[in-house]
Amino acid sequence: MKKMKQSSLQKFFLSLSIGTAILFMLISVFFLQLSKEHEQTDGDFWDKFSLKLSTNQFLYLFTMEIPIFHIDVQALEEGNSQSPENPFFQLFSLSYKPKHPNDWIKEEIPAYSLMDFANLTAANMTDVIDHPMESKPPKELVQDDQKTEAKEVSANRNVVFIYHTHNRESFLPETNKNSDSKVNITKVGVKLGEELKKLGIGAEVSTDDYYPDLKKYALAYMESSKTVKEALKRNGDYQFIFDIHRDGFPSGKSYEPKEMKKLSTRKIKGVDYATVTFVIGKGNQNYQKNKEFAQKLHDTINKLYPGLSKGITEKTKTSGTNGEYNQSVSPNSVLIEVGSNYNTLEEEYRTARALAEAVAEIYFDAAKVNATPPAKKN
């Protein structure tokens, strides 16, 4: 009984399939015949039912919407296609060719289009290489780019802090006084800050006057330390901290100004500069790092302006000497004596420019090293 039911169902579905196929063929023949009749009598008949697009236009749209299909439109334009011209047939006879995976890669990564992966061998590798290719930039240009980037970064933030513990130290040729509230060492610090900014290094300069509140001259460093600590709290980007001073040589009738001035002046290329001396306080337990930084400054400025730096002076903390000079706040903190009370402001300003160049060289060399990845070990 079950076998009879299965046999009947099979016959039913077979008949349905055959009938559907025959019906489809009859409908297709009907439409094709109808097409031929109306082509002879009414050329506009199919215009009512067909898209107002040429075959090539349709293919372009098809390819744009579904890029995975490759349709050789150029071949159609050159007349190589075998497709009939009947619009009805064209809509159902669009041939396509799936792209090779390598073609997809070439479209997404243009550089790969230089390579024929299917036929790439050692023998024809030279053909692949023999294409226009960008060469690597010279090392010097890369370093210049790194310096330029460092300048752009540092110019937008202050990395140098300048202050003056003995802010009223003045110059005899300018004021005929060793101390003055207006024409004094702070002008040299301001000049240094300006020159650093010209070189692309952001700098902040404090011109605080500590003298009105000083009970004792020896307490000046205690007052200036407040300025430094407040600055560091306000800005964590400070990398170099300079306390700018000038040497105080004896003055009076017993001392010849010209002879005294020689001690703090150097003639470089026919121009007078105020000398530079770096002072490091040994009262700071980490003073060795400050000394190393001062040594870099000494070496660099003497390379740029031979003989301008008189060297590094180390001072131990005693009853009459501070010996620390606020240098414990940073490993790159140093006290700088620029000239003496016998130098002119113009000589001081020249040295401020020279000092700025030395600081810039150290800063940008450090930025270049930090931007260069470490060499790989073999």
What single DSSP character describes residue 204? E
CB-based contact 158:217 (threshold 8 Å): no
Position 92 scores a pLDDT of 41
With a cut of 70, say whether residue 136 has pLDDT above it.
no
Position 1 scores a pLDDT of 57
Q: pLDDT band at 176, cuts 50/70/90?
A: very high
Min mean pLDDT across 43-57, 307-321, 335-349 is at: 43-57
pTM: 0.60
With a cut of 90, say whether residue 165 has pLDDT above it.
yes
Higher pLDDT, 48 or 37: 37
What superfamily would CATH give domain 140-371? Zn-dependent exopeptidases (3.40.630.40)
Higher pLDDT, 91 or 215: 215
Q: pLDDT band at 5, cuts 50/70/90?
A: low
Give the residue-averaged pLDDT of 114-131.
Answer: 47
Higher pLDDT, 237 or 139: 237
Q: pLDDT band at 377, cuts 50/70/90?
A: very low
Q: Is the dihedral of CA 357, 362, 365, 366 positive or negative?
A: negative
Give the residue-averaged pLDDT of 19-27.
Answer: 73
Q: How many CB atoms lie within 10 A of CB 220?
A: 18
Give the residue-averaged pLDDT of 270-283.
Answer: 97
Burial class (CB in 10 A: 0-12, 13-18, 19+), 174: middle
Give the residue-averaged pLDDT of 101-114.
Answer: 53
With a cut of 80, say whether residue 121 has pLDDT above it.
no
Q: Which residue has the tokens 């020279």?
A: 354
With a cut of 90, say whether residue 203 has pLDDT above it.
yes
Min mean pLDDT across 149-158, 192-201, 271-280, 358-367 is at: 149-158
Most confident of 38-47, 110-119, 288-297: 288-297
Domain boundaries, the chain: 140-371
Q: Alpha helices, DSSP H only, in the chain?
A: 2-41, 55-65, 73-77, 87-92, 101-108, 125-129, 139-155, 172-175, 186-198, 220-234, 257-262, 287-304, 345-371
| H/E element, 70 | strand 69-70
- Report the share of the chain in percent with pLDDT over 70: 59
Q: pLDDT band at 15, cuts 50/70/90?
A: confident
Position 317 scores a pLDDT of 85
Q: Alpha helices, DSSP H only, in 315-344?
A: none
Min mean pLDDT across 68-77, 231-240, 249-258, 279-288 is at: 68-77
Higher pLDDT, 3 or 156: 156
With a cut of 80, say whether residue 149 has pLDDT above it.
no
Burial class (CB in 10 A: 0-12, 13-18, 19+), 130: exposed
With a cut of 60, say whether residue 204 has pLDDT above it.
yes
Both tokens assigned to 301: 């400025």
Number of helices (H) and strands (E) in the chain: give both, helices first.
13, 10
Higher pLDDT, 139 or 198: 198
With a cut of 70, say whether residue 116 has pLDDT above it.
no
Give the residue-averaged pLDDT of 343-365.
Answer: 97
Q: Minimal CA–CA distance to 333: which of 270, 288, 378? A: 288
With a cut of 80, say whether residue 226 has pLDDT above it.
yes
Q: Minimal CA–CA distance to 331: which of 280, 370, 366? A: 280
Higher pLDDT, 144 or 317: 317
